[in-house]
Amino acid sequence: MMFVSVAGTQLMTPERRKAVWAIYVWCRRTDELVDGPNSSYITPKALDRWEKRLEDLFEGRPYDMYDAALSDTASKFPIDIQPFRDMIEGMRLDLWKSRYRTFDELYLYCYYVAGTVGLMTVPVMGIAPDSKASAESVYNAALALGIANQLTNILRDVGEDSRRGRIYLPLDELAQAGLTEEDIFRGKVTDKWRRFMKGQIQRARLFFDEAEKGVMHLDSASRWPVLASLWLYRQILDAIEANDYNNFTKRAYVGKAKKFLSLPAAYARAALSYMFAIRPPRYL
């Protein structure tokens, strides 16, 4: 659910890197509440306490060193508490909801658990002073990147999620493709599954395309790490295709060589003025 990958943060200025890591640590700890080793003991009241703790750290009353790091970030950058609250709402959904009837339902979930990360981090990345784009459009692009990343996670982890009894796919679209929940649990790649996956991947790529439009309007020091992360994550979709859409028993990943090749390409793109739009190299 990261807006910028771990590798991407290494390309940032030290102050921004520290701030982004403080946000990511909080997000990871929040995610671990419902997906970690103690998740079976988590209740809605526990999440209520976590939200109160969030409010305290935003008011300068951190509980521990990790809270203190985010509290410091909130004091230095104009980050808003609402996306953090919304992420906790996504964790509440995970306590009881394991099916999504429509894409609208799934989109809301993706916003809660990942789109929020984009909104959290834009104030840290900064918007270019000479950008002609509105702040709203830049935030919308950041939101699109969070949605794209989460949709990619979902498509990569279909098999893993099904073994936990979860299906993060629009059930109405599965039905339209002639597929059922049992087909997911059976985990067999068929022509119907391939056609369904092609449509899901196409949608995720559209969100990546929308996100990329906003990257060039970020502060110049942030464009390279964000663009590199976007290109790297988008390649997971290529890997799913390379696996013949078998996301039941094969985990799609991007090899080190491809990651390495992406960095200079992203740098070249980011080094150009955001007013010039070029397409990524074909190998991306």
Encoded tokens for 25: 């640590």
- Tell me what the pLDDT averaged over the chain comes to: 88
The pLDDT, as a whole number, for residue 37 is 83
The pLDDT, as a whole number, for residue 277 is 41
- Which tens digit of pLDDT belongs to each residue from 161-195? 999 999 999 999 999 999 999 999 999 999 999 99
- Which tens digit of pLDDT belongs to each residue from 124-157? 999 999 889 999 999 999 999 999 999 999 999 9
- CA 57 to the chain's CA centroid: 24
Encoded tokens for 181: 């929940």
Three-state DSSP class for residue 218: strand
The pLDDT, as a whole number, for residue 14 is 84
pTM: 0.87
Phi and psi based region of residue 40 (left: phi greater than 0; alpha: psi -120 to 50; beta: remaining): alpha
Q: What is the CATH number of domain 79-278?
A: 1.10.600.10
Encoded tokens for 140: 């919308």
Encoded tokens for 198: 């092609």
279 Cβ partners below 8 Å, 6+ apart?
none
Which parts of the chain have pLDDT scores under 50? 1-2, 5-7, 264, 266-268, 273-284
The pLDDT, as a whole number, for residue 278 is 38
Asked if 194 and 245 count as a contact pair (C-beta separation under 8 A), the reply is yes
Asked if 57 and 63 count as a contact pair (C-beta separation under 8 A), the reply is yes
* Sequence-ordered alpha helix ranges (H) in the chain: 6-9, 14-35, 44-58, 65-76, 82-96, 103-110, 116-125, 135-156, 158-162, 171-176, 181-186, 191-215, 220-242, 256-271
The pLDDT, as a whole number, for residue 150 is 97
Percent of the chain with pLDDT over 90: 72
Three-state DSSP class for residue 40: helix
